[in-house]
Amino acid sequence: MTKKQKRVLIRIIISAVLLGVLMIIKIDNPYIKFAAFMAPYLIIGYDILKKAVKGIFNRQVFDENFLMAIATVGAIILAVKQNSDYAEAIAVMLFYQIGELFQSYAVGKSRRNIASLMDIRPDIAKVEIDGEIKELDPEEVEAGSIIVISPGEKIPIDAVIIEGNATLNTSALTGESVPREVGAGDEIISGCINENGVIRAKTTKPFGESTVAKILDLVENSSMKKAKSEQFITKFARYYTPAVVFSALALGIVPCVINLILGNSPEWGKWIYRALTFLIISCPCALVISIPLTFFAGIGGASKAGILVKGASFLETLSKTKTVALDKTGTLTKGVFEVEAVYPEGVSQEELLYISAMAESYSSHPISTSIKNANQIETDKSLVKNVKEISGNGVTAELDGVIIAAGNSKLMDSLGIEYEQRDDIGTIVYVARDGKFIGSIVISDELKPTSKEAIDELKASSITPVMLTGDSKKAAKGIAEQLGIDEYYSELLPEDKVRIVEELISKCNKGEKLAFAGDGINDAPVLTRADIGVAMGALGSDAAIEAADVVLMDDDMKKLSKAINISKKCLRIVWENIIFALGVKAICLILGALGIANMWLAIFADVGVMVIAVINAIRALKTK
């Protein structure tokens, strides 16, 4: 508990004890009785009365503080006039504060869950400067600096290891407890903890662009984007509260006036008591508190599992997902390409790989990297001129005054080059020199170990998976068959993916949503166009992570079905609370207006319903 919560708890205990004592002993003097009962009332309710008065002066009258203040003060005035017990009015305020304390504790628990994620922020970075180690604020460290990470320390900035081996604890980012072994040449991301071994690494970006900074920013800003359910409750409370205040006013006055007109006793006390009971019952605390808390808990629970949701609105949209379009490379597959086969035509295998590597020398595409890695002949990039990357097709370049072309069948067709088409499973790069076909290279990519299980889980949840890829039809068919995906599209350019996603969205039934999961920079447009964009956080590009609405921190596609399950549970809890709170209040309001319900039932309708709704809301923190 916080200090503030402890102070409220002490006030609750003191007020409850005093009220219990006063209800046991009998005080005949009305003045002493009034003064005695006002002590526990003011102890427990002075802050509510203060907020109500401030609200009136700030022209924000109609809130729960005003309702509690007017109802309890009214009940005390009635008790004075009738020389009756003040216990009901004090009990209303007492139980309201108990409910508020419980709600505050529940919110705090959810915040602590997210706060644990904030612990990934490193306090210092050990930077190697002129042979000396200096401790700097991570924000002061520039890209390209050499940092040293000792056992037990957090990695402060994204970097590449240049010396040493270590085991990294990535649980704060990915939600997974399995450690990761790293060594020279491996990329390491900020926020992970070095469990053993001293490592030296070269930073690849400044702190503001590092993984940990982006995660913290995403979580901190997630509450800014309200779900439609939250927006509905906010608007509902804005109109509902004034409506019930005026209804209570009418209930307290109109029947009395009618009685006067008919020549009967007005019975002011009876009808004002009913109006005050009506006010207490009508307080919308259960909805106003529990709905945002449910979304907050859902986002917190997802972040603990290594799933970052950028706002409650995206959590709500995710729950309506019926179709998931999936990029292939880096999403369903590891994105680690290797040359599987080389088919030279009129040149040696070594020469074909060398010419291809030279053509691809300025490209950072994974396919280009695999060709360069397979080449055994030393290359000189300065010999390559007039490089042209043709999106989705390949690359052309000038080498020793001769035009080299390396790419897919579309590139060969566009250049009018006759070539021998191959049917190998994988990505096939056709190579031509001076307009003549000189061979082809087959490059393959492995499936991620969890991709098949991820697709099965999506299909088990009645979600249709669709694969989109720029790869060949043969390669796309092979991967789709392995994963059990019935619908797939191949040989797509980035703009084709956007077009296909728009077509898939148009086929969705009303209320159904389409999610797209991808990792590359070329996926950014389609991530933005989809109803919900899901990016791979560990290996995904910065552009994809920025464009996405949900980020899977360990690139595990199984987390997508988990994210959808979390969102569905969250929305189910939201509607349970809405239906329960409105249903109970509607019944109790009718009973209160008819005089059947007293202040004690009003306390249950307000505080009891709020406590039950809050208990239900914090279930969103945990998902199997």
Catalytic residues: 327
Helix ranges (DSSP H) in 119-183: 171-174
Per-state percent for the chain, helix, strand, coil, to nearest 5? 55, 20, 25
Question: For residue 360, how many other CB atoms are within 10 A of its CB?
Answer: 28
DSSP 8-state symbol, 508: S
- Chain centre distance of CA 471: 31
Beta bridge partners of 359: none
List, in order, residues 6 or more apart from 137 with CB less than 8 Å away. Answer: 124, 125
**Residue 467: C-alpha distances to residues 94, 330, 382, 480, 527 (Å):** 58, 13, 39, 7, 14
**Residue 431: C-alpha distances to residues 219, 357, 374, 379, 396 (Å):** 47, 11, 15, 17, 10
Q: Are strands 487-489 and 464-468 parallel, antiparallel or unpaired?
A: parallel
Q: Are strands 436-447 and 427-433 parallel, antiparallel or unpaired?
A: antiparallel
Q: What is the CA radius of gyration of the chain?
A: 33
Helix ranges (DSSP H) in 25-61: 30-57
- Chain centre distance of CA 328: 23
Question: For residue 569, how many other CB atoms are within 10 A of its CB?
Answer: 19
**Residue 525: C-alpha distances to residues 154, 323, 499, 531, 533 (Å):** 34, 18, 11, 12, 10
Give the span between the Cα atoms of 78 and 268, in whole angstroms: 10
Q: Which amino acid is it at 595?
A: G
* 36 within 8 A of 111, measured Cβ to Cβ: no
Calculated CA dihedral for residues 64, 69, 70, 76, nearest 10 degrees: 140
- Chain centre distance of CA 513: 17
* 40 within 8 A of 15, measured Cβ to Cβ: yes
| CA nearest to 165, candidates 153, 178, 149 | 149
- For residue 251 the two structure tokens come to 């209930």
The helix/strand/coil state of 594 is coil
- Chain centre distance of CA 333: 24
| CA nearest to 2, candidates 101, 94, 98, 113 | 101
If you search the block for the tokens 């069948």, which residue do you land on? 409
Give the span between the Cα atoms of 454 and 442, in whole angstroms: 27
Q: What angle do CA 4, 7, 8 make, to 5 degrees?
A: 90
Strand ranges across the sheet with 464-468? 307-309, 550-552, 532-536, 513-518, 321-327, 464-468, 487-489
The helix/strand/coil state of 160 is strand
Q: DSSP readout, 103-114?
A: HHHHHHHHHHHH
